[in-house]
Chain A
Amino acid sequence: MSAASLHSRTAGKPSAGIPPTGRGGAPRKARRNRRWMIFSLLPVVLFFVVLSVFPVFNLIGTSLYDVRWSGGDSTYHFIGLENYRQLFSTEVIYWAGLRNTLIFAVCAVTAQMILGFSMALAVKRAGAMGRTLLTGIFLLPIVVPPIVIGSVWRLVLGREFGLANGFLGLFGIPPVDWLGNPDIALASVIFVDVWHWTPFVFILMLAGLEAIDEEVLEAARMDVRSSWQEIRHVIVPMMLPTIVITLMFRIILSFKVFDEVYLLTSGGPGTATEVVNFSIYRVFFNQDRVGYGSAMAVITLFGMTLAIIVGRGLLVRKRKNDERKLEQ
């Protein structure tokens, strides 16, 4: 449940623990509280504006310029929406990257959510010893630095000398070109990302599961016929806030994918594993086209924000519908 929906539900109702205040003192105290709230939140707001809002506006502003460096100085030529026109009319690599990023986000996040949730359930139901052991094993990939992950998986998935093909060879299966075949290279990168980030989902899901009151679960078990029904009709609805937050985190992080692609395939072969961050990096830092790179970043930022708002809106609407059905 989001903070906003919590607030909307409790607003106007006197809380059980706080006695109602008298008529005369209340407005004055409320004013004082409000002032204190503003005063105490101001540094955080300023911090947010300086570190988040200003860079975004700066990015939008820069995307309207052609930035050049010459004679040891920078010059900004205002070109209006020219960078956006180019991006939408002639760009090839960025759009291939955006398509791949969307495929990557949907496939990787779906797999991570299902696996992470299943692993959390397994650990929750294991004994004390098994719980410690499984948690340790499941969390291992997330503590490995990305550069090591890239190197390790490159060695595992290499066509000529890779461990995976060595293993397949034991069964007489011919070597598979995991990273060099354009048809399966993106799937290989998704697989590595799932391996890397499922523990993140697992740990949040486990925390959500641990927070569910055992008595409530026991009571609910009386009304269900199978474990599947318990998961579907009891655990998942109770875990929905955790699931939504985890999903949002993972979608945002999956749009940020860079290191795995860079280390495993560098975006190739062709544009098979190109992702938006790689395109932006190349334009911004390699080609030094700051304005054009900013336009790419702005489109990505707005696209991602829109996707999250729409996705969250759909989930909230679904939840409200479910609640309405329950009330009826």
Chain B
Amino acid sequence: MKTITARLLAGSTAIAAVATFAAAANAADTVRIAINQSPWLDSFIEMVDLYESETGNTVELDVVPFTGLLEKIRNSLRAADGDYDIVNVNALWLPEIYSAGYLKPLAEIREGYKLGDGTLSYGGTTYWDSTTGTFSEDGQLLGVPLNGNVQVLYYNSEIYDRLNLEVPQDWDGLIANAKAIQAEGDAYGFVPRAARGSIVYNFTPYAYTQNGAYVTVKGDKSVEVSINSPEVLKALEVYLTLANEAGPPNPGAIAQGEMIQLMSTGRGAQTIGVIAAWGSFENPNESRVAGKIEATLIPAGPTGTRASSAGHWVAGIAGNVSPERQDAALDFLDWFQGLDVQTAYVRAGGVPVRGDLGKTDLGQSEEFRFIEAYSENAANAVMALPFPQANEVSDALALRLNQAVIGELEPAAALNDAADAIAEIFEREGYDVSRLPAL
């Protein structure tokens, strides 16, 4: 009898515990976030801990590998009741998620809500204009950036000092430096990130500083495919010069991991890479060049145009959760943009989403000397594929650019092929497509 009573008691306690946990998870002040596994995740978790200690609210993180996150976000947003209040969306996925109408406009959660002063919008990518089907600050505010990640130019200052090189202001200067370093023979002059999965993002500043564009959105369901313009061809020639005349022998196989490896071992002297790589270069346990790598503005094009590519993450609030949950989610995102919080975020190893930290003591310190270069490049960030077909266009373009790098296609043929493939995608989707003459 005693045993039965004990089992009943244990069972009741377990049920009560589960019910309490479920109730806690359902409480509106518990914010559920779908987020990717990343090098900056630990710093974000520190901010979550800080938020919980300051407010008494709780935040639950569902951490998912990068490759699985998009599908998880789609599944949650497409359901009648979402599993997540906040979804962390990569820049490339934003047009698909925005255009499908899954996210709640922030001004509909809290009337008149705007991004905090100093918070970056990364080329207006936190806004979506549904009438033109692209990013625009004239549209609705649909998210708050959660981690900034733009490309910067990195260089090894020790090699620069040894060879008396100047920080390049334009592409010719970068090529000259790369060739001088390559000629010395101790390091590769330049490390491109030209693997198929990386090249579109990596190539974007080259194309946009030459005043080129992959596709120009001209209005609702109307685009011009401009990838095969003389400007983009010039950009590709610059890219190939750096890759083939001053780069490692296998540029078409270099993804982010290889690029970081080459730079942090001192085998690579210059690269255009994401600011999130800074931590790997500066960590003496991972890097042989800690303290010797500097970040600066990506070179300007012939008319002085500067550009970087936006690869940030934006947190959107799900439309399929209760208004109380949406409100609690916005509380967290609003708190996250604060100057003190962002300063703490950087100290914890995160990349800030504010553009004004360069002026603070933090930005002036030796340890965080990347902040100024980051802020300047973030101000020039462009989102090269601002339409719902971004993933498909990116795949089509990546293949041709990579084929140009490995010598399977001539530069002009690669861009013409890419233009054909991209035009076909938009025509299939019912767009009014205009084209440039073949190169």
CB closest residue in chain B, given A181: B250
Closest to B197 in A: A266
What are the residues of chain B within 8 A of A185 when measuring CB–CB? 253
B432 is an interface residue with CB less than 8 A from chain A = no
CB distance from B185 to the nearest CB of A (A): 15
Residues of B within 8 A of A (CB): 70-71, 74, 77-78, 96, 99-102, 195-197, 248-250, 252-255, 258, 261-262, 265, 267, 319-320, 391-392, 395, 399, 402-403, 405-406, 408, 421, 424, 428
Q: Report which of A70, A160, A265 forms a contact with B101, defined as CB distance below 8 A.
A: A70
Interface-lining segment among A32-40, A102-110, A284-292: A284-292
Interface residues of A in 271-289 (CB under 8 A from B): 271, 282, 285-289
A-B contact pairs, 7 of them (CB 8 A): A72-B77, A72-B101, A182-B252, A185-B253, A269-B253, A269-B406, A286-B70
Contact of B253 among A268, A271, A289 (CB under 8 A): A268
Q: A317: shortest Cβ distance to chain B, in Å?
A: 42
Considering only residues 151-168 of chain A, those with a C-beta below 8 Å from chain B are 158-161
Pick the contact of B70 from A73, A161, A182, A285 — CB < 8 Å? Answer: A285
Which of B71, B100, B195, B408 touches A71 (beta carbons < 8 Å)? B100
Q: Is A69 an interface residue (CB 8 A)?
A: yes
Contact of A177 with B by CB under 8 A: yes
A179 CB, min distance to chain B CBs, angstroms: 6
Q: Closest chain B residue to A70 by CB distance?
A: B100
In the assembly, what is the distance between CA of A265 and CA of B253, in Å?
8
A267 touches B196 (CB 8 A): yes
Q: Mark A72-106, 1 if CB is under 8 A from B, else 0.
A: 11100000000000100010110000000000000
What residues on A are CB-neighbors of B250 within 8 Å?
159, 177, 180-181, 269
Q: With contacts A266-B195, A268-B402 known, is A72 near B78, CB below 8 A?
A: yes
Instruction: Let me know if A288 and B391 touch, CB within 8 A.
Output: yes
Q: Assess whether A287 is in contact with B74, with CB atoms less than 8 Å apart.
A: no
Which residues of chain B have C-beta atoms less than 8 A from A72's C-beta?
77-78, 100-102, 319-320
- Determine the chain A residues whose CB is within 8 A of the CB of B265 once the complex forms: 160-161
Interface size counted on chain A using CB atoms at 8 A: 33
Majority DSSP secondary structure for residues of B touching A: helix
Q: Which 5 interchain pairs have the tightest Cβ spacing?
A: A180-B253, A180-B250, A269-B252, A268-B196, A287-B392
Instruction: Name the contact of A69 in the complex, choosing from B74, B254, B395 (C-beta under 8 A).
Output: B74
The reply to whether the CB of A311 lies closer than 8 angstroms to some CB of chain B is no
What are the residues of chain B within 8 A of A313 when measuring CB–CB?
none
Q: Which of A160, A179, A268 contacts B262 (CB 8 A)?
A: A160
* Neighbouring A residues of B99 by C-beta, 8 Å: 70
Q: How far is the CA of A285 from the CA of B403 in the complex (A)?
A: 24
Q: Which residue of B lies closest to A71 (CB)?
A: B101
Given A159-B250, A160-B267, A286-B395, A268-B100 contact (CB < 8 Å): no
Q: Once the chains are docked, how many angstroms separate the CA of A75 from the CA of B129?
A: 23
Assuming the contacts A72-B102, A268-B195, A270-B252, asked whether A289 and B320 have C-beta atoms less than 8 A apart, the reply is: no
Give Cα A185–Cα B250 distance, bound, in whole angstroms: 12
Q: Which residues of B contact A70 (CB under 8 A)?
A: 99-101
The docked-state distance in angstroms from the alpha carbon of A70 to that of B96 is: 10
Give which listed residue, A74, A159, A177, A285, contacts B78 with CB less than 8 A.
A74
- Contact partners of B70 in chain A: CB under 8 A: 285-286
B263 → chain A closest CB, angstroms: 12
| Chain B hits for A74, CB < 8 A | 78
A312 to B326 Cα, complex, angstroms: 59
- Whether A266 and B261, one on each chain, are in contact in the complex, defined by CB atoms closer than 8 angstroms, is no
What's the nearest-Cβ distance from chain B to residue A279, in Å? Answer: 10
Interface contact A182-B100, CB-CB below 8 Å: no
